[in-house]
Amino acid sequence: MTPLQFDVTDATAIGNAAKQVREQLKGETLFGLVNNAGIAFAGPLMHLPINDYRRQIEVNS
């Protein structure tokens, strides 16, 4: 198992991660993939800045 850490909301980071996986596989078949990403902001929703709300939706969707 090889963990990768990257921003799941950044298309460039996703592409770079995919490239890194292809390089590590060296032509072998990918057996499995676990995507474990999530964030949460605490507090009343009405008081949450819109940018924090959007970021939370982007990461958790």
Give the pLDDT score at 1. Answer: 84
Per-residue pLDDT of the chain (61 residues; tens, 9 = 90+): 889 999 988 999 999 999 999 999 999 999 998 988 899 988 888 898 999 989 999 989 8
Q: Report yes or no: 1 and 21 within 8 Å, Cβ to Cβ.
A: no
Give the pLDDT score at 45. Answer: 83
Domain boundaries, the chain: 11-60
Q: Is the pTM of this model over 0.85?
A: no
